A and B are shown apart, each in its own frame.
Chain A
């Protein structure tokens, strides 16, 4: 904390520079897929940061966080299908609905704890998942193609790859900054206090339920924003966005990067998704060069490593990548 020149800060700065310069690299090499890939990473990083707010700082392990991705995405998709393309309508509505859903889920589930909390958040997410499955007009199971991205008049053109990338980067940074300010405020300290000893915080006179609920709603809204961006990015939404394994992926990102630190989930999102994309690609290419055709086993191979890696991180390195870099261990 004293010196700014720590390995951790050097790493974070380097990552930031890479992220900021990526479209330049992509323009120079002509590989537009890099921008597509990293836009997705930035968007999911926002979701992971929002999950980390409740999970890492508040101790509320939500196993249904992907529901907000879906709500944000489906608001954009449904409105676009009905001919309402204005981002000034789509975005606020998506955020408000995400917040309201979080309010309802939080109000009901924050009375439970531990595994019951995990399961009840999962239950609510599954309900949204099945609602989306039942929306026949909006593709049901098959999902929905979004023909036009959100329209902000002449203000900003989301269809431009580079513009959209930088918008996501700015929103991610804003989210990180906002969460950082929040956890270091009085509000954040109450939340963290409630995680370690809720009874004591109540005894001191803090209405912890209300604090936690507020925190839960804020995380829901932030993740809803991520959903809005994701729908605009892929031009496609489907219930699969909300499958319970997606919620699992978000948890993995947060923990892999380092829970309980604001920037950790960003590292986790980058690490997980780059691994997911780059490793099979490289190995596919290699197998192609070696045998003359792509070996399907390439993709399996990296997940065989990822699974046990997650287990090892849980057992031995609970600070995640962030913790390893800064040499700090949590819990």
Chain B
């Protein structure tokens, strides 16, 4: 039972990471109707920025803060130069154009930072585990990432639901022309939203960097998972993204934790080891296919257009 709880925490932690990525993706998708395959590149850029700044300032927090600012502006520059001409085109053009950007960013990072990748070292007080409830030890840093993401989620909720900008964002999602007609600078709004999405993706990359590895292409596999999350959650819905991210995180972790042993009771040890993780990954895509077939707007449709 304790073990189940511990694995649930792991699942939630993965879900938090997916949420950070999916939130930006779903905002951009919902408001600009734009499919952004380069979102994973911003995740990667964020991690590289943070690794560089942590190295320069010798402070984890300062590195993250500077990295966030850098990713936000990288997103804005990207939007103005490359993304803007693609608004209003069909989704194929988005996929193709941003696929080109994805290739470009991989190579750009290789050119600037070299092919080997970077690491972010955690402050030593983060390198231990604490007892969250009796019997469960959990790494402090992972608790910190969960806390940080929840804070971001709350801020995002306040921004979207309680501020004037948020009102415009919501209005833009449901009726673009109307917001433009009311005299709102829709171009600026789009740029800011894109920058916000970029910063969220970058933040996800930074949070993950000390656990994983800052490397070229690190955003590619997780990007596809983030797409799955926003499809399941309903495009444009941040609440949907939050719930779906936790569902996907839990399925993936539980699959990895329990399926190999389950499969091994039917098959050999090595067949189970290969089939287990494969099956849990498939579960996620099966869930997405089912959602698309039976509830194409996702679990929490953002608006009825």
Contact = CB atoms under 8 A, between A and B. Distances in A.
Interface of A: 55, 61, 63, 108-109, 111-112, 114-116, 118-120, 122-124, 126-127, 130-131, 133-137, 140-141, 244-245, 248, 251-252, 255, 296-297, 300-301, 303-304, 306-311, 314-315, 318
B293 interface: yes
A324 to B, nearest CB: 16
Contacts of A114: 90-91
Given A251-B96, A315-B86, A308 B104 contact: yes
A131 B95 contact: no
For the complex of A and B, list the 5 residue pairs with the smallest distance between their C-beta atoms, beginning with the closest. Answer: A307-B104, A310-B100, A134-B278, A136-B274, A307-B103
B187 interface: no
A271 B275 CA distance: 38
Given A133-B278, A303-B103, A296 B292 contact: no
B285 interface: yes
Contacts of B273: 136
B137 interface: no
B286 interface: yes
A315 B96 CA distance: 10
Contacts of B143: none
Interface in B98-120: 99-108, 110-111, 115
Contacts of B277: 133-134
A274 B235 CA distance: 39
Contact of A300 (B111, B228, B292): B111
Given A123-B285, A255-B92, 15 more contacts: A63-B95, A108-B293, A111-B296, A118-B91, A124-B289, A133-B278, A136-B268, A141-B274, A251-B96, A252-B100, A296-B115, A303-B103, A304-B108, A306-B100, A311-B82
Given A118-B91, A251-B96, A310-B99, A304 B281 contact: no
Contacts of A55: 92
Contact of A115 (B35, B100, B107, B293): B35
Among B227, B268, B274, B277, the most chain A Cβ lie within 10 Å of the Cβ of B274
Among B105, B277, B292, the most chain A Cβ lie within 10 Å of the Cβ of B292
Given A124-B289, A303-B104, A303-B107, A119 B227 contact: yes
A123 B96 contact: no
A84 to B, nearest CB: 21
B274 A245 contact: no
15 contacts: A61-B95, A112-B292, A115-B29, A115-B235, A120-B292, A130-B285, A135-B274, A251-B95, A252-B99, A304-B108, A306-B100, A306-B104, A314-B93, A314-B97, A315-B86
A96 B110 CA distance: 43
Interface in B257-277: 268, 270-271, 273-277
B278 A131 contact: yes
Nearest to B230: A119
Nearest to B83: A311
Contacts of B107: 300-301, 303-304, 307
Contacts of B276: 134
B270 A136 contact: yes
A248 B96 CA distance: 8
Interface in B288-305: 288-289, 292-293, 296
B279 interface: yes
B4 interface: no
Contacts of B296: 111-112, 116
Given A130-B282, A251-B96, A311 B101 contact: yes
B155 interface: no
Contacts of A127: 282, 285-286, 289
Contact of A134 (B35, B104, B227, B279): B279
Contacts of B90: 114
Contact of A120 (B92, B102, B270, B289): B289
A296 B91 CA distance: 35
B253 to A, nearest CB: 16
Interface residues of B, number: 52
A251 B99 contact: yes
B152 to A, nearest CB: 25
A63 B94 CA distance: 13
A116 B294 CA distance: 12
A140 B96 contact: no
Given A116-B296, A252-B99, A314-B93, A122 B274 contact: no
Among B86, B96, B235, B273, the most chain A Cβ lie within 10 Å of the Cβ of B96
B85 interface: yes
A194 B99 CA distance: 27
B35 A118 contact: yes
B91 A61 contact: yes
Nearest to A108: B293
Contact of A123 (B97, B220, B289): B289
Among A109, A119, A127, A245, the most chain B Cβ lie within 10 Å of the Cβ of A119
Contacts of A61: 91-92, 95
B76 interface: no
A137 B101 CA distance: 38
Contacts of B220: 245
A303 B96 contact: no
Interface in B217-235: 220, 224, 227-228, 231, 235
A307 B81 CA distance: 14
Nearest to A314: B97
Given A123-B228, A136-B274, A315-B85, A307 B281 contact: no
B100 A126 contact: no
B104 A126 contact: no
A126 B281 contact: yes
A307 B231 CA distance: 27
Contacts of A245: 220
